Amino acid sequence: MTKTVQPMTSGSISKRLIYFALPLLLGNLFQQLYNTVDSLIVGNFLGSSALAAVSSSGSLISMLIGFLSGISSGAGVVVSRYFGARDDKDVHRAVHTMVAFGLAAGVLMTLVGVLLSPQILLWMGTPDSVIAESNAYLQIYFAGSLGFVMYNIFVGILQAVGDSRHPLYYLMASSMVNLVLDTVFITVFHTGVGGAALATVISQVFSAALCLIQLLRTRDCYRVQISHIRFDLKMLRQIIRMGLPSGVQNSIIAFANVIVQSNINAFGEMAMAGYGAYSKIEGFAFLPINSFTMAMTTFVGQNLGAGQIKRTRQGARFGIVTTVVLAELIGVVVFLLAPQLIAAFDASPEVVQFGVDKARTAALFYCLLAFSHSVASILRGAGKAIVPMLIMMSIWCVIRVAFLSITIPLTHSIQMVYVVYPLTWFLSSIVFLLYYRRVNWAGEAKASQTV
């Protein structure tokens, strides 16, 4: 194996995780800038109604991105295990099956998304005053589905082998493209929210192309060769087994947010804009946590593939403690600075009040959310992707939706939408803790070497 990328199976655990997570953090920061730049420019140049239109599409788009990144990350566990075991032949087969899967998924998502966008917005209860703009934004975004599907697939491959630097470079470049195009389309050509969506699509295609060039040019075992892109049934089964539950798990919170968004929509445009602004802030606030949990998945996958049980357990403990402490520190900052942060998106007093109320209900409980995500990422790296999927589906979807279905009609208060989040974070943390204490690491290491 040509060692252009160093495996995470040796060296200082803390340094390996931190050095891998830092580029992920910066990369995720630029990824978050995609939709946030849209919201900032739309909110300041087109007004609250346009911001509400973009925000009403945001939960659905987050669900799709979460699903795709979850699939690529989960499928990447297959690559990381073979890479950790230094099995070049199976790394090659897994990589090309992932690419074939991504191409098929991207085409399907484009067709389904463009056709169903109007109906999806109706199901979400989007107000008539913004539904036309919301539909324009969503359909253009779906038209570029292949770009962000393949970007996630390519990044999943690179991260699985321990390369977090190149995705960072490409996201930095594409984010600059997005910023320039957003400004030009909206302020010069006056294209409205559709221009913001088009800028995002073009920049995503650009970043996917840069990732592909890197994978075509590398001399390592994970090199992509166009003529070798095909489905290998053995690898496809593993990718689906690992990736599909991870995709569902990763999109559970966003799916629940789509349902929550329909409740938010009932409180009017100002509530939609305020809640949407807070969602952008939370997305930024949780980037360090998401970056560390992604690093933990790769770390656990590679080390279990190499049969290093003690190192796997030590890395998992370090990751959990680090993410929980960091999340709580971030939560305190968001709690204190909520008015200023919300006002950056829309300074209307009513919008700011809605956003601040949400922030000060949830921010101090970020530690619970971090713990759930940390354990879920560890289990995903260990090949137990279906467990966190079931936990999150039952608590973050079923219980969350049931709570809102009961309390909203009784109270007619938006506060019920706010409190459901820390409540379900607490419940999932308890269940994850109980399960994590029972993990048999020796058994997981043995299973990972016989995939």
Question: Does residue 1 lie within any of the structural domains?
Answer: no
Question: Does residue 235 lie within any of the structural domains?
Answer: yes
CB-based burial, 7-25: b 16+ in 10 Å, e otherwise? bbbeeebeebbbbbbbbbb
Q: What pLDDT was estimated at residue 36?
A: 66
Question: Does residue 5 lie within any of the structural domains?
Answer: no
Going 358 to 359 to 363 to 369, the CA torsion angle's sign is positive
Question: Does residue 4 lie within any of the structural domains?
Answer: no
Please state the domain count of the chain. 1
How many Å apart are CA 242 and CA 381, to the nearest integer? 9
The residue type at 357: D
101-to-314, 386, 412 alpha-carbon distances in Å: 34, 20, 45
Enter the tokens of residue 423: 């409540």
Model confidence band, residue 325 (pLDDT cutoffs 50, 70, 90) = very high
Say which residues have a Cβ less than 8 Å from residue 23's Cβ, sequence separation at least 6: 164, 165, 167, 168
Question: Does residue 96 lie within any of the structural domains?
Answer: yes
Model confidence band, residue 227 (pLDDT cutoffs 50, 70, 90) = very high
Cβ neighbours around 435 below 10 Å, total: 15
Q: What pLDDT was estimated at residue 44?
A: 76
Q: What pLDDT was estimated at residue 2?
A: 43
How many Å apart are CA 112 and CA 110, to the nearest integer? 6
How remote is the C-alpha of 427 from its chain's centroid?
21
What's the chain's average pLDDT? 86
Instruction: Say yes or no to pLDDT of 5 above 70.
Output: no
pLDDT digits (tens, 9 = 90+) for 309-322: 889 999 999 999 99
pLDDT digits (tens, 9 = 90+) for 258-267: 777 778 888 8
DSSP code string of 327-396 = HHHHHHHHHHHHHHHHHTT---HHHHHHHHHHHHHHGGGHHHHHHHHHHHHHHHHTT-THHHHHHHIIII
Q: In this structure, what DSSP letter does residue 286 have?
A: T
Q: In this structure, what DSSP letter does residue 267 have?
A: T
Instruction: Say yes or no to pLDDT of 4 above 70.
Output: no
404-to-250, 364, 392, 400 alpha-carbon distances in Å: 21, 21, 17, 6
pLDDT digits (tens, 9 = 90+) for 349-391: 888 999 999 999 999 999 999 999 999 999 988 888 889 889 9
CB 222 within 8 A of CB 95: yes
Residue 245, classified by CB atoms within 10 Å of its CB into exposed (0-12), middle (13-18) or buried (19+), is buried
Question: Does residue 53 lie within any of the structural domains?
Answer: yes
Residue 228, classified by CB atoms within 10 Å of its CB into exposed (0-12), middle (13-18) or buried (19+), is middle
Question: Does residue 269 lie within any of the structural domains?
Answer: yes
Task: Provide the whole-model pTM.
Answer: 0.75
Q: What pLDDT was estimated at residue 1?
A: 41
Question: Does residue 6 lie within any of the structural domains?
Answer: no
Model confidence band, residue 35 (pLDDT cutoffs 50, 70, 90) = low
Enter the tokens of residue 405: 């279905």
Residue 46 φ then ψ, to 5°: -110, -15
How many Å apart are CA 103 and CA 47, to the nearest integer? 37
Instruction: Say yes or no to pLDDT of 32 above 70.
Output: no
How many Å apart are CA 445 and CA 439, to the nearest integer? 11
Domain that holds residue 316: 13-448
